[in-house]
Amino acid sequence: MDSILVTGNGPLTGDIPIAGAKNACLTLMPATLLSEEPLTLTNAPRLSDIKTMTALLQSLGAEVTSMQDGQVLAMSSHNIDNHTADYDIVRKMRASILVLGPMLARDGHAIVSLPGGCAIGARPVDLHLKALEAMGAELDLKDGYVHAKAPGGLKGGTVEFPFVTVGATENALMAATLAKGTTVLKNAAREPEIVDLAECLRKMGAQIEGEGSSEITIQGVDRLHGATHPVVTDRIELGTYMLAPAICGGEVTCLGGKISLLGAFCEKLDAAGISVEETAKGLKVARQNGRVRAVDVTTEPFPGFPTDLQAQMMALLCTAEGTSVLEEKIFENRFMHAPELIRMGADIDVQGGMATVKGVDRLKGAPVMATDLRASVSLILAGLAAEGETVVNRVYHLDRGYERVEEKLGACGAKIERIKGQ
Ligand code: UD1
């Protein structure tokens, strides 16, 4: 298994290109199942999660062709001959559940394996299922699979989510585009990835209003057609690379970045003493001399501070002046990076969903273990600022969500290399 060797060596300077969003691409890809005509995505990120979704769609009979070094995905679902999403693929990636709504909406039946638990919490899919039931789906849970049927097609209905869920909003939104009548999604997620999905579905002929607000209204249509759509910028990759100069010092421009994608995060950087400026090229991030100031962070659905940037922000706050409190409100078990950061000399106390970080002068390099995607990149960021060498093991998590990390950070002066495993 590969590992990443990072040697802390001071300020970073340069430009980092930000890819299309993994999480947007993972919901745009299943949208191909809604139409018999081709759907082409441009600005796709080159990641192992995208390969997993490609394999899943292909297992259902969809054609997926990767072009231009993986940045263009040409898909066609004119010949879906299998309606079962198998456990072997679904267990690798929770986003696989997103094929359920589209298959059910177009063909009236689908069987999808339950994703099971994952490292950052229980993460059930009950709200995906309740939303589809509100549109008339008949569901049966058997042997770890959801057997879904909608014999006369799905029907519009009102879905009120008890709390914000990104995935269930996406599944319901896709399904509702082909349901008979009007569907209203209340307390819907407002993430930029939802807005991107709605824009793509509209290009395919869907009638949607209100995306980006907490109430989305969908007027079902008989069929959707083909479209070409660019994947929105990855706000989590953006925030991650903005933290690199924040941690190491220097000045880095994240190409294609916009403050509107990360308002709450930029406010916290400002409070910590990091300057962020939006230019025509992207977001220019600079850290002046002196230590970063401690800030308190609470994760929330968009437009709040994203849970997917909590681990990386913690890496920054480990060497801040003062004490920071990080509260994780989205997932119940998302501080697995804390013990690894402690091994690097950080002073962190985790109590339930709350982590208290007392800033230390400097972290020290150590061998550490990546436990999930965002945790793994937080350890790389910490390693960039630490004294000596840090080896981040189990980087397959990293490859799920970050393309060419070594190249992107290396181009700004970071000492980082991949060590090939057996
Ligand atoms: C998506 C993102 C993930 C991000 C998360 C929150 C993708 C592929 N993944 O995950 O990177 O961290 O949003 O911004 O887009 N829940 C239930 N029942 C459900 C669905 C969710 O209880 O049926 C709970 C989850 O366990 C979690 C919370 O709701 O505690 C929010 O989860 P959700 O927004 O659905 O996250 P995902 O869509 O899985």
Q: Decide whether any atom of ligand 1 lies within 6 Å of the 128 Cβ.
A: yes
**Of all protein residues, whose CA lies closest to atom 38 belonging to ligand 1?**
167
Q: Is 23 in the pocket of ligand 1 (CB under 6 A)?
A: yes
Residue where a domain terminates, one of 182, 204, 230 = 230
Shortest-distance Cα residue to atom 32 of ligand 1: 165
Q: Which of 269, 266, 230 minimizes the C-alpha distance to 246?
A: 269
259 and 312, same domain (yes or no): yes
Report whether residue 328 contacts ligand 1, using a CB cutoff of 6 Å. no
Q: What is the pLDDT of residues 19-51, one digit of tens each?
A: 999 999 999 999 999 999 999 999 999 999 999
Q: Are residues 311 and 242 in the same domain?
A: yes
167 CB less than 6 Å from ligand 1? yes
Same domain, 65 and 210: yes
Residue 117, pLDDT above cutoff 80 = no
Q: Give the domain extent around 135.
A: 22-230
Lowest mean pLDDT among 112-126, 209-223, 235-249, 261-275: 112-126
% residues pLDDT > 70 (the chain): 98
**Catalytic positions:** 118
Look at residue 229 and tell me whether its pLDDT is greater than 70.
Answer: yes
**Same structural domain for residues 282 and 384?**
yes
Average pLDDT over residues 137-163: 95
pLDDT at 122 exceeding the cut of 70: no
Order of strands, edge to edge, in the sheet holding 63-67?
A: 63-67, 72-76, 39-42, 227-230
DSSP annotation of 326: E
- In this structure, the residue with its CA closest to atom 39 of ligand 1 is 167
Q: Which atom of ligand 1 is nearest to the CA of 94?
A: 39
At 282-304, the pLDDT tens digits run: 999 999 778 899 999 999 999 99
Q: At which of 171, 195, 230 does a domain end?
A: 230
**pLDDT at residue 170 in the model:** 98
Atom of ligand 1 nearest to the CA of 236: 11
Burial 231-241 (b: 16+ CB within 10 A, else e): bbbbbbbbbbb
pLDDT at 118: 54
Looking from the CA of residue 330, the nearest atom of ligand 1 is: 30
From the CA of 149, how far away is ligand 1's center (Å)?
24
Same domain? For 8 and 49 the reply is no
Residue 241: CATH number of its domain: 3.65.10.10
Which residue, by CA, sits nearest to atom 8 of ligand 1?
23
Concatenated DSSP letters of 143-197: TTEEEEE-TT--B--EEE-SS--HHHHHHHHHHHTTSBSEEEEET----HHHHHH
- Domain final residue pick, 212, 230, 248: 230
**104 and 88 within one domain:** yes
Number of domains in the chain: 2
- Per-residue confidence (pLDDT) for residue 120, from 0 to 100: 55
Ligand 1 centroid to 201 CA: how many Å? 21
